[in-house]
DNA sequence: ACCTGAACACCGTTCAAGT
DNA sequence: ACCTGAACACCGTTCAAGT
């Protein structure tokens, strides 16, 4: 009993905390997530969470980061650069649309999440492969990302409608910035 | 003294409350706006504000609505439908970019603000004038609005870059949806 | 009927006291 | 050194008691 303990509850960890936080947000909405409610869900003292996250803001950022962490995993494989890029942005829209609006804004915060940085790097790589200069790729990416994030916030959304607009924007940007300029 | 009072502070009103709320948000950020802080700023009991706004959510919506209420006032005059539309969206982007991210999401909430509805109606009217069918105008508007709102959330923004992307998107949508389909 | 202000049920976070 | 839990400084909002 003293040598080999079998704890009734697993040891606390960032992973377990994020699981619980995500569960609360899914079931009770973003306003339901408080440090105290979270501690209760984990059967832990309120202050214990602060061992793993500096404050609530850091926790929320981690929740959003994890919810968007696997964007682009599906579609790094073959196909044209344009196809990959559209697939990347479709995944981005879907992942962001699944987040509550209050949390979604954290994805494009000034101090971007690791997930957001990875998505941006993947997108820029695709655009460079498509013949855009570094500067043109940057401008093009911001336009595509703006469209995607904005669409994620619209109600009654239609996946096909998103894709049609995305194609129009991408083709137009390619015609304007891809070859000449 | 008893017949004609000269009150040291003006009577409370929605207008005065929104002035104070906007001032607090400008000076102390969105997190600084609390019902209690607002009451203090107005030199009033905390509960007095509830005579004019049902709850804090309604107050915040009213703040955002007022901050976006004069979008489109400048540009309803002459020019092509495309020029008017671009001007409308430029104003929309600027007004939204001036709002804190936490408040910005309320502009496109499911129960849209009066200001958002007016902007949408103006945009749709421009698109109909440009030859879009009602259905095509709806899809086109959602794409343009998504792009605009998304851009409003991006850091280190360039007005010209916004405008270039907007023109690309609008021209592309016109080519795709305006004439045929 | 209206307005007051005390009170309720929460927050995030600090910090002194214990182990 | 680490963990606890009491305490601080707030919240939004309800509601009974006063006028």
Q: How far is the CA of A82 from the C1' of C4 (A)?
A: 65
Residue among B174, B175, B147, B141 at smallest CA distance from B163: B147
- Under the banding of pLDDT at 50, 70 and 90, the label for residue B1 is very low
Kindly report the pTM of this predicted structure: 0.91
- Under the banding of pLDDT at 50, 70 and 90, the label for residue A2 is very low
pLDDT tens per residue across span B148-166: 999 999 987 789 999 999 9
Q: Does A153 touch chain B (CB under 8 A)?
A: yes
Chain-chain contact of A168 with B169 (C-beta, under 8 angstroms): yes
Nearest to A147 among B101, B139, B150 (CB): B150
Nearest to B172 among A142, A151, A171 (CB): A171
Q: What is the nearest CA distance from A156 to chain B, expressed in angstroms?
A: 9
Instruction: Give the nearest nucleotide to A54, CA to C1'.
Output: C13
pLDDT tens per residue across span B55-78: 999 999 999 999 999 999 876 667
pLDDT given for residue A179 in this prediction: 56
Nucleotides of D under 7 A from a protein CB: 3-7, 10-15
Mean pLDDT of the A63-75 span: 91
pLDDT given for residue B77 in this prediction: 65
Question: Are A177 and A139 contacting, i.e. CB atoms less than 8 angstroms apart?
Answer: yes
Question: Are A58 and A113 contacting, i.e. CB atoms less than 8 angstroms apart?
Answer: no
- Under the banding of pLDDT at 50, 70 and 90, the label for residue B11 is confident
C-alpha to C-alpha distance for B165 and A80, rounded to whole angstroms: 23
pLDDT given for residue B76 in this prediction: 65
Q: How far is the CA of A37 from the C1' of D5 (A)?
A: 16
Spell out the residues 6+ positions from residue B90 whose beta carbon is closer than 8 angstroms to its own.
B159, B162, B163, B166
Q: What percent of chain B has pLDDT over 90?
A: 81
Give chain B's mean pLDDT: 91
pLDDT given for residue B174 in this prediction: 95
């Amino acid at each position: 009993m003293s040598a080999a303990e079998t704890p009734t509850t697993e040891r606390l960890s960032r992973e377990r905390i994020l699981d619980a936080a995500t569960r609360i947000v899914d079931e009770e909405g973003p306003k339901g997530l408080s440090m105290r409610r979270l501690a209760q869900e984990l059967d832990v003292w309120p202050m214990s969470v602060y061992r793993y996250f500096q404050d609530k803001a850091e926790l929320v950022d981690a929740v959003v980061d994890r919810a968007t962490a696997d964007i682009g995993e599906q579609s790094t494989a073959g196909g044209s650069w344009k196809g990959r890029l559209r697939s990347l942005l479709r995944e981005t829209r879907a992942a962001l649309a699944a987040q509550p609006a209050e949390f979604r804004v954290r994805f494009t915060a000034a101090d971007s999440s690791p997930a957001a940085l990875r998505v941006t790097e993947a997108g820029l790589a695709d655009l460079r492969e498509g013949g855009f200069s570094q500067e043109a790729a940057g401008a093009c990416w911001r336009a595509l990302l703006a469209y995607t994030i904005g669409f994620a916030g619209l109600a009654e959304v239609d996946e096909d409608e998103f894709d049609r607009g995305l194609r129009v924007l991408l083709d137009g940007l390619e015609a304007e910035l891809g070859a000449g300029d």
